[in-house]
Amino acid sequence: DATIEVRNLRKRFGRTLAVDGLSFTAEPGMVTGFVGPNGAGKSTTMRALLGLDAADEGEALIGGRPYHALRTPLLEVGALLDAAALHPSRRGRDHLRWLAHSHGLPMSRVDEVLDQVGMDAAARRRAGGYSLGMRQRLGLAAALLGDPPVLLLDEPVNGLDPEGIQWIRTLLRDLASEGRAILVSSHLMSELEDTADHLVVIGRGRLIAETAVADLLAAA
Ligand code: ADP
Ligand code: ADP
């Protein structure tokens, strides 16, 4: 069961309460949009789900377990927190080949994920010439490499042009329809309303609203 679950999560940085008792779930088969203004606590929550920051209180669980208790993390959770940062002389494809190798995945996965993110030719070029949108696509390819049932994507639309935004919407819909649980953040509700099934809206580290998008549209 690949449910993403945040329960009473609290995280403080010095005097800043970045996440303040947040609870929500993101279910398999759905795109859950995670919306809030900059500084609302989205990245901190995702980092807690990935075990990158220890929570002060509460839990951040993937299929009922904290990240550190997952047996094969890359096969269970794919994450895009920042656009891939590669050495300018490294080719995107070589980076993915190295990732696949180090996780014991077949090299055929590299071409499959590059195809999924529409980067076959570009990935053979050196990363020095990549746009932000291309680095986002490469980061997404890396997240998809282990074919994980859970995806955590922090502002994946950043740096994409309108065509890229439409492309990522379709991709996320397809990935969710295959049964994955997808948590995708944005500071703009408008970026997610066409993509998400479910919305979790936060501000100042707290839950403001959690709703099915269908209910939101029916109320409009
Ligand atoms: P969002 O992803 O919604 O933009 P963040 O989770 O990045 O929000 O940040 C929430 C709050 O916590 C902000 O006030 C931010 O400045 C602060 N914060 C995040 N990470 C750190 C950190 N490592 N050190 C200090 N403050 C942090
Ligand atoms: P996002 O908007 O995606 O949260 P940020 O630019 O806020 O990205 O944060 C980028 C990195 O800087 C994160 O690792 C975050 O934890 C850290 N960070 C954010 N705010 C602060 C802060 N006030 N002090 C120190 N580190 C911070």
Q: What is the pLDDT of residues 84-130, one digit of tens each?
A: 778 899 999 999 999 999 999 999 999 999 999 998 888 899 999 89
Ligand 1 atom with the shortest distance to the CA of 53: 23
Q: Is the CB of 37 inside a 6 Å radius of any atom of ligand 1?
A: no
DSSP secondary-structure letter at 146? T
Q: Is the CB of 35 inside a 6 Å radius of any atom of ligand 1?
A: no
pTM score: 0.91
Q: What is the pLDDT of residues 107-118, one digit of tens each?
A: 999 999 999 999
End-to-end Cα, the chain, rounded Å: 33
The ipTM, to two decimals, is 0.77
Q: Which two tokens stand for residue 80?
A: 């895009």
* Bridge partner list, 63: none
Q: Is the CB of 211 inside a 6 Å radius of any atom of ligand 1?
A: no
Q: Output the CA–CA distances (angstroms, integers) from residue 32 to 80, 131, 135, 185, 189, in the order listed.
A: 15, 27, 23, 8, 12
How far, rounded to the nearest angstrom, does the alpha carbon of residue 20 sit from its chain's CA centroid? 21
Q: Pick from 215, 204, 216: which is nearest to 36 by CA?
A: 204
Strand (E) or helix (H) holding 18: strand 16-26
Q: How far apart are CA 114 and CA 189, in angstroms?
A: 28
* Bridge partner list, 5: 25, 61
Q: Is the CB of 98 inside a 6 Å radius of any atom of ligand 1?
A: no
How far, rounded to the nearest angstrom, does the alpha carbon of residue 83 sit from its chain's CA centroid? 11
